Amino acid sequence: MVAKIFKRVSDFSSLVKISHTVFAMPFAVIGFFLAMKNLHAPFDLKSFLLMVLCMFFARNAAMSFNRIIDRHIDGKNPRTCDRDIPSGKIKVKQAYIFLFINILLFITTAFFLNFLCFILSPVALVVILGYSFTKRFTYLSHFVLGLGLSMAPIGAYMALTAQIDYLPLLYSGAVLFWVSGFDIIYSLSDISFDKKQGLHSIPEHFGINRALIISWILHMITLLLIIAAGVLCPNGILFWIGTLIFSVLLFYQHLIVSPGDLSRINRAFFTVNGFSGLVFLLFFMLDIFLQK
């Protein structure tokens, strides 16, 4: 019985790719502690845990909905045909139940944070769930994905302050362009499949060379927004060291992926981006606590 429960938990963890939380969660934590810094407020464990749960439930809803909507496409793609729904590990009905439970938990958790988070929770759901349809009609789908994840810093900031401010919006902008940029690189893996299936992406529309240039430009904007946030809010040397490391890792993925060699896309997408977000969070936190 225990083994069966463990397997189901493992299956649903695989469905929503829990490991990919490293992309948005670090910037959500940054948004939360940025609010603490600006308010000169003590750490609020209850609000922090509710914020993390909001992120967790929203992401579960987004990923499970994406897997449900894309199940037929995933089944045709050699890269994704072994995903949980196409392979039969999880039935569509089970995925829908999981989806609705997470939507309900997300809205409920937002309610317990504050009224602003609660009334904006449906807006967040429209964005993160709506992304799943976009690649069927626009090559700008990467930006919708980026927009969904970019709500992490401002959402976490609102969790503590119940208000919107320009500083977390700068970090949200950074996440928007960061995610859009590396999603363009990741979508290079499916360029041939997308063309055959009539799906849209920047690589499919502009070609590999131009797609990589667009991705590079988006990542330059990411760095400019982080630098702007650092200048507008006084930070110590550790913040700038973290920014430097983040920028080096950002450029590294553009060095290991080229039009003539797409073999290291997964390393750029999963390893480099996941690690860079965590490193930036680490130095951001050290900078805050060592300034006290």
Asked whether the predicted pLDDT for residue 11 surpasses 70, the reply is: no
Confirm if 171 and 229 have CB atoms less than 8 A apart: yes
What ranges in 114-165 are assigned the alpha helix state H? 115-134, 141-161
Domain ranges in the chain are 2-290
- Those residues with Cβ within 8 angstroms of residue 62's Cβ, 6 or more apart along the chain or in another chain: 128, 129, 131, 132, 148
Query: Cα-flanking dihedrals φ and ψ of residue 258, to 5°?
Result: -140, 165
Asked whether the predicted pLDDT for residue 4 surpasses 80, the reply is: no
pLDDT of residue 292: 58
**What's the average model confidence in pLDDT over 209-215?**
96
pLDDT of residue 27: 94
Candidates 219, 221, 201; CA nearest to 211 is: 201
**Hey, what CATH topology would domain 2-290 get?**
Tetracycline Repressor; domain 2 (1.10.357)
**What's the average model confidence in pLDDT over 90-101?**
94
Q: What does the DSSP 8-state code read for residue 268?
A: I
Q: Each residue of 47-63: pLDDT tens digit?
A: 999 999 999 999 999 99
Asked whether the predicted pLDDT for residue 126 surpasses 70, the reply is: yes
Q: What angle separates helix 115-134 from helix 92-113, to the nearest 10 degrees?
A: 150
Asked whether the predicted pLDDT for residue 130 surpasses 60, the reply is: yes
- CA-to-CA distance for 255 and 158, rounded, in angstroms? 37
pLDDT of residue 15: 77
Q: Does the global pTM surpass 0.85?
A: yes
